[in-house]
């Protein structure tokens, strides 16, 4: 089963670094985040990757031309400003032999069992499976008794809601739900899928973090430095 990684976003909230390189090439400690993502899939036996390039995509292409890994990486330029649904649509011809394939974004890390995600998708036989996660809150949570702090948790998970965790499995039927290069995968296509009851949710209760800001990057790098990165265990 091939793995598609969407690598075309601008990453403007990460600051000056993404004026020079694309977001997937931003380093967490010693390696770009895209390498961490690829290694997570490779750990579960996935060896064929298609990277959908966009903004400053030449940096990603050149990196994988120079670096050698045990897995195969194919880089496809899908347009500088193309939206996520359009990027996937542009990859249709590269996925025509795949009954099912995986997809994720080039800026999110998780310690989920990807093999279990795939098994879940194949068991339910729907067009799409989306990993859903409990989002971490942006600030620490403080529990008080009058004016006394009795409990403090740094960035705990929200326990009342689920969000799109960004790790998908699709059957080839997903292309029946994509109609334009100018649409977000997460909008109309997803709405059509759940209205037709063709979208399943795979609940992940473990570690998940999206690298949207400099603070997120520093948090992930700190986990590596402390040898406490859940996705590397």
- State how far the Cα of 127 lies from the Cα of 199, in Å rounded to an integer: 6
- State how far the Cα of 160 lies from the Cα of 53, in Å rounded to an integer: 35
pTM of the predicted model, to two decimals?
0.89
pLDDT along the chain (233 residues), means of 10: 94 83 95 98 98 97 95 97 96 97 97 97 97 73 53 55 93 96 94 94 94 93 95 93
pLDDT at 85: 97
pLDDT at 13: 78
Helix segments in 147-211, DSSP class H: 188-195
pLDDT tens-place string over residues 62-116: 999 999 999 999 999 999 999 999 999 999 999 999 999 999 999 999 999 999 9
pLDDT at 11: 78
pLDDT at 14: 83
Nearest to 41 by CA among 33, 53, 49, 29: 49
Which CATH topology does 3-232 take?
Answer: Spore Coat Polysaccharide Biosynthesis Protein SpsA; Chain A (3.90.550)
- State how far the Cα of 162 lies from the Cα of 74, in Å rounded to an integer: 32
pLDDT at 134: 85
Domain ranges of the chain: 3-232
Q: Count Cβ atoms within 10 A of the Cβ of residue 17 and give its class: 0-12 exposed, 13-18 middle, 19 or more buried.
A: middle
Rounded to a whole number, what is the largest CA-CA distance in the chain?
A: 63
pLDDT at 149: 47
């Amino acid at each position: 089963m091939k793995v598609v990684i969407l690598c075309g976003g601008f990453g403007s909230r990460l600051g000056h670094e993404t004026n020079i390189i694309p977001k997937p090439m931003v380093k967490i400690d010693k390696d770009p985040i895209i390498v961490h993502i690829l290694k997570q899939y490779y750990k579960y036996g996935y060896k064929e990757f298609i990277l959908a390039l966009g903004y400053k995509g030449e940096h990603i292409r050149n990196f994988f031309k120079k670096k050698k890994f045990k897995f195969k990486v194919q880089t496809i330029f899908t347009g500088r400003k193309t939206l996520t649904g359009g990027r996937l649509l542009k990859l249709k011809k590269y996925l025509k032999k795949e009954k099912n394939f995986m997809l994720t974004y080039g800026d999110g890390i998780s310690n989920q069992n990807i093999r279990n995600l795939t098994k879940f998708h194949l068991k339910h036989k729907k067009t799409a499976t989306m990993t859903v996660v409990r989002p971490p809150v942006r600030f620490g949570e403080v529990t008080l008794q009058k004016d006394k702090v009795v409990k403090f948790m740094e960035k705990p998970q929200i326990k009342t809601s689920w969000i799109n965790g960004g790790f998908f499995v699709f059957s080839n039927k997903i292309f029946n739900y994509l109609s334009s290069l100018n649409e977000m995968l997460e909008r109309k296509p997803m709405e059509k899928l759940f209205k037709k009851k063709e979208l399943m949710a795979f609940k992940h209760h473990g570690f998940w973090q999206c690298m949207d800001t400099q603070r997120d990057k520093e948090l992930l790098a700190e986990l590596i430095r402390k040898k406490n990165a859940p996705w590397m265990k």
